[in-house]
Structure 1
Amino acid sequence: MGLLTREYPPDVYGGAGVHVEFLARELRRLVDLEVHCWGESSTGDRADGVVRHRSWRALDGANDALRTFSVDLAMTAALQDRELVHSHTWYANLAGHLAKLLHGVPHVVTAHSLEPLRPWKAEQLGGGYALSSWAERTAFEAADAVVAVSGAMREDILGCYPALDPARVHVIHNGIDTALYRPDPGTDALTRIGVDPDRPYVLFVGRITRQKGVPHLLRAVRGIDPGVQVVLCAGAPDTPEIDREFRELYEELSRARRGVHWVPRMLPRPEVVQLLTHAAVFVCPSVYEPLGIVNLEAMACGTPVVASRVGGIPEVVKD
């Protein structure tokens, strides 16, 4: 089996990458699994069952969608001995579709998001958004099976792609490893980033994107008790525009109240677990969220979650 993904450790920045990491771990117990992902290693290096592909150097500086397609072509060429391919996100969907056509193997897609429901991606990709949308539609409509990460996501898939046979769309909710996400009494991670462990704090963990809605949170926390700290583990801005908006709101909030902490880098999992454990509340202000793995992580650490009533969130966060 070939598992196709952009994100794979150590390069994981979102929920899809977390899902693929643990899915690969479990599938290896059952099948001969190869993970094909983005990375700097030479195509064909199959160390530890992981094959990393980089975009063609001739496309350095080109639109991100074109660079993605070059990775997909490299993946496709390397899948000739796989009996099944399973792709995650539009970054790898085209590779799965082309492998189905070229090598005659079944293609399973897991839908972590849908391009038609993320129009702000045009800000990031420009004309490449039309290409990412085309790749996703083409792969979904031809896939042998489509996995939706929530019931709401299944409805969205069928709404966006009515040509897709509903019998081929199956709901499998994302899960987490509760051996890794569980309450941690330690507070050293808090101290290192300047958070007072004896004062309550509101926590956000996620990327700086339109989808994650962090500007809405920065505006909303102006109204909470000034004694409550605000901790933002937020990095990987999609575009200069959202980065600039976030920084302006953060600086404005920092001038208005004490105890606003921004961690722009990706923290190791154990440090995130500590932050989740000791938060008074975890906030997920997403404007679009097919499920939201981070909400599961917070709850597994024993922390209350306040989240937007969008997408698949109400299926796991109960009011």
Structure 2
Amino acid sequence: MRVGVITREWPPDVYGGAGVHVEHLVAALRELPGGPEIDVHCFGGARPDATGHAVPPGLSSANGALQAVGIDVEMAAALGGADLVHSHTWYANTGGLLAQLVHGAAHVVTAHSLEPRRPWKADQLGGGYRLSSWVERTAYQTADAVIAVSRGMKADVLDVYPELDPAKVLVVGNGVDAEAYRPIEDPDVVRSMGVDPDRPYALFVGRITRQKGLMHLLAAAEQLPPEAALVLCAGAPDTPAERQAVADAVAELQTRRTGVIWIEEMVPRDKLVPLITGATVFVVPSVYEPLGIVNLEAAACGTAVVASAVGGIPEVVDDGRTGLLVPYDAEDPTGFAAGLAARVSELLADPARAADMGRAGRERVLAEFGWPAIAQQTVQVYERVLAARG
């Protein structure tokens, strides 16, 4: 079986959860005994382990969504020998759709997020959002199978696209590399990033986008214990305006309390893991999250998680055992911020309980979220799709 995996993100250009998912899934697929032959096609320059595709010259000044579709056309042209194409995110969905139409390849889509669940992108992308939404809908409607990364995501897919046959929407969860993400105590590394390892701190890691709920966390920070620090590893903003809003909120917060540290650059894993390990609590205030790999990464590092109870997060964070969940209501942002503050403060005040939750989270990751098992489940989807086609 020859499979073409198509994705916007591929190392070293990985900035979000979908990119992390593709990187580790492909590695696990390639290691399966007797597994499929995998060809990766990605956006950008040449890679040693993938074929990169640049924006076609005639689209160099076009809308970003048109540029993505242009890259997808070139990807589809290169996928003539694939039995099956597996696309990740709307950026790559057109490539899978076209390979299905032109070459007769089977097309599997993994649902990492849904454009209709991110309406704020209409303000950011204008007509590009209308194009991305059309691409996603068309790809989902015509795909041979849709893989949802959680049960919550499957329900979301069927809610947004009720015309889909539920039997073709299959759940294969996200995973985490429990060797790469494991508890590593290294106070010197933590200190090198401007964080006091002897002071309890809450940690956020994520992109600056409305989806991740960072502004809600900054509002909650007003109510955190003054002896605790708040560390934000937040970068890759969706827009300059969103970055500026975070910068203004952080600067204002820093005038009222100490220990508010913003690390804007992408932190390499060898530094990020000790930073996560050293945190008393890891905070995920997302307003929309199909699953949230960062929840798994924090748990794998043995750190308790406080997260919003949205999407697939409740399938990852076992409330009261590996962390604490906070209900989210878009109509009550003040209440959500207060709930975040209360739950984070609860664990900051009881580090022994937080440590117990972190150990339980690590144990659960080892038992349920390994990539080899996820790769095997993915191959079973491939086999099912190809068998159905005869």
Normalising to structure 2: TM-score of the pair?
Answer: 0.79
Report the counterpart of residue 179 of structure 2 in structure 1.
Answer: 179
Shift of the alpha carbon at 1:57?
A: 2.5
Report the counterpart of residue 60 of structure 1 in structure 2.
Answer: 60
Report the counterpart of residue 2 of structure 1 in structure 2.
Answer: 4
User: Paired residue for 2:43, among 38, 44, 62?
Assistant: 38
Report the counterpart of residue 310 of structure 1 in structure 2.
Answer: 310
Root mean square deviation of aligned Cα? 1.0
Shift of the alpha carbon at 1:285?
A: 0.4
* Overall identity of the aligned pairs, in %: 59
**What is the count of residue pairs matched by the alignment?**
314
- Measure the CA separation in 2 of the matches of 1:224 and 1:17: 33
Shift of the alpha carbon at 1:306?
A: 0.3
- Measure the CA separation in 2 of the matches of 1:282 and 1:166: 35
Secondary structure of the residue that 1:291 maps to in structure 2?
Answer: coil
Structure 2 letter corresponding to 1:31:
P
Equivalent pair of 1:2/1:79 in contact (CA under 8 Å)? yes
Shift of the alpha carbon at 1:123?
A: 2.4
Report the counterpart of residue 123 of structure 1 in structure 2.
Answer: 123
- Measure the CA separation in 1 of the matches of 2:276 and 2:61: 38
Shift of the alpha carbon at 1:56?
A: 1.6
Structure 1 letter corresponding to 2:170:
H
CA displacement, residues 271-301 of structure 1 (integer Å, 9 cap, x when unaligned):
1111110101000000000000000110111
Equivalent pair of 1:33/1:49 in contact (CA under 8 Å)? no
Report the counterpart of residue 114 of structure 1 in structure 2.
Answer: 114
Secondary structure of the residue that 1:33 maps to in structure 2?
Answer: strand
- Measure the CA separation in 2 of the matches of 1:278 and 1:214: 21
Structure 2 letter corresponding to 1:13:
Y
CA displacement, residues 248-286 of structure 1 (integer Å, 9 cap, x when unaligned):
101111111111111111111121111110101000000
What runs of 5+ residues in structure 1 fail to find an aligned partner?
42-46
Report the counterpart of residue 213 of structure 1 in structure 2.
Answer: 213
Shift of the alpha carbon at 1:240?
A: 2.0
Report the counterpart of residue 50 of structure 1 in structure 2.
Answer: 50
Report the counterpart of residue 267 of structure 2 in structure 1.
Answer: 267
Structure 2 letter corresponding to 1:247:
A
Shift of the alpha carbon at 1:243?
A: 1.3
The 4+ residue runs of structure 1 with deviation greater than 3 A are none
CA displacement, residues 104-127 of structure 1 (integer Å, 9 cap, x when unaligned):
010000000000111011122111
Say whether residues 1:203 and 2:174 are aligned partners: no
- Measure the CA separation in 1 of the matches of 2:177 and 2:144: 28
Report the counterpart of residue 257 of structure 1 in structure 2.
Answer: 257
- Measure the CA separation in 2 of the matches of 1:223 and 1:235: 24
Report the counterpart of residue 91 of structure 2 in structure 1.
Answer: 91
Equivalent pair of 1:254/1:260 in contact (CA under 8 Å)? yes
- Measure the CA separation in 2 of the matches of 1:134 and 1:203: 36
CA displacement, residues 139-174 of structure 1 (integer Å, 9 cap, x when unaligned):
001000100001111011111111211110001110
Report the counterpart of residue 135 of structure 1 in structure 2.
Answer: 135
Equivalent pair of 1:35/1:50 in contact (CA under 8 Å)? yes
Report the counterpart of residue 20 of structure 1 in structure 2.
Answer: 22
What runs of 5+ residues in structure 2 fail to find an aligned partner?
320-390
- Measure the CA separation in 2 of the matches of 1:187 and 1:38: 37
- Measure the CA separation in 1 of the matches of 2:188 and 2:294: 21
- Measure the CA separation in 1 of the matches of 2:55 and 2:119: 25
Shift of the alpha carbon at 1:224?
A: 0.8
Greater shift, 200-209 or 54-63, is seen at 54-63
Greater share of helix:
2
Task: Pick closer, same or farther for the CA change 1:71–1:318 going to 2, 3 Å.
Answer: same
Task: Pick closer, same or farther for the CA change 1:245–1:144 going to 2, 3 Å.
Answer: same
CA displacement, residues 204-262 of structure 1 (integer Å, 9 cap, x when unaligned):
00000010010000110111111111110000000122112111101111111111111
Structure 1 letter corresponding to 2:206:
G
Instruction: Note the 1:277-296 alignment, pairs <5 A.
Output: 277-296=277-296
Secondary structure of the residue that 2:227 maps to in structure 1?
Answer: coil
- Measure the CA separation in 2 of the matches of 1:202 and 1:238: 24
Normalising to structure 1: TM-score of the pair?
Answer: 0.96
